Structure 1
Amino acid sequence: MNSLENFLADLHTKGFKLDDEAIKFIYFGKKYTDASDSKVQTAIELTLKLQHRFDSGFYMSVLEEITQSGLTSRKKIENHFREKGISI
């Protein structure tokens, strides 16, 4: 398993059961944005934290913002969203 697969499996064991459609959309977003596993994981975590569920449109917006910003560390990504007025 790759790290994204491990991350999704870990979410499942913690009670975040994403359906097949959501998982397919996660991989679609990864391919569409050419994002690394770590950026996809951060986008998923922020989506779940801010929306309290998996919202595919919100996830895609977050993932696009992360990839377009060019930020690489989670801390910088979180600070970037805080600067935009999103409370994390």
Structure 2
Amino acid sequence: MNNDHTLAYFLEDLWAKGFKLSDEDVRFIYFGNNSTNAPAWKTIIAVRVTLKFQHTFDPSFFMSVLEHISNPEIESKRGAYHALEQRGLYNRQPSA
């Protein structure tokens, strides 16, 4: 699936779930995605982490997260979440 379509579907799903991002927020998300040359899955993680910690879309927080995980050495979602956990930006929930 095309990288842009994956991100678009994710953002549309957020809208359907009640997270109403403004057009400006969506444009900024695409700007961040393009400026870091990050794959869609890393941008999606950055949006999720931003919404989880800020409870709203904070562009500077989003860019900080995205720049941190856009490192080419991070090759998997697990690696991205581990890198965020190392910075204190992600907390794994204990399994039941």
Query: Does TM-score exceed 0.5, indicating one fold?
Result: yes
Distance (Å, rounded) in 1 between the aligned partners of 2:90 and 2:37: 26
- Residue 40 of structure 1: CA displacement? 0.6
Distance (Å, rounded) in 1 between the aligned partners of 2:13 and 2:44: 11
- Residue 86 of structure 1: CA displacement? 2.8
Amino acid at match of 2:47: I
Q: Out of 19-28 and 62-71, give the one that drifted further.
A: 62-71
Given the alignment, which residue of 60, 64, 72 partners 2:63? 60
Distance (Å, rounded) in 2 between the aligned partners of 1:75 and 1:13: 26
Q: From the two aligned structures, give the one with the greater helix fraction.
A: 1
Q: TM-score, with normalisation over the residues of structure 2? A: 0.84
- 4+ residue segments displaced more than 3 Å: none
Matched residue, 2:34: 31
Q: What residue ranges of structure 1 are gaps of 5+ in the alignment? A: none
| Identical-pair percentage | 42
Kept in 1: contact 2:42–2:80 (CA 8 A): no
Per-residue displacement from partner, 1:23-58 (whole Å, max 9, x unpaired)? 000010011000111111011011111111110000
Matched residue, 2:81: 78
Given the alignment, which residue of 14, 19, 24 partners 1:21? 24
Distance (Å, rounded) in 1 between the aligned partners of 2:61 and 2:72: 16
Q: TM-score, with normalisation over the residues of structure 1? A: 0.91
Q: What residue ranges of structure 2 are gaps of 5+ in the alignment? A: 92-96
Matched residue, 1:46: 49
Distance (Å, rounded) in 1 between the aligned partners of 2:90 and 2:48: 14
- Residue 82 of structure 1: CA displacement? 1.4
Q: Based on CA coordinates, which of the two structures has the bigger radius of gyration? A: 2
Amino acid at match of 1:25: F
Aligned pair count? Answer: 88
Matched residue, 1:2: 5
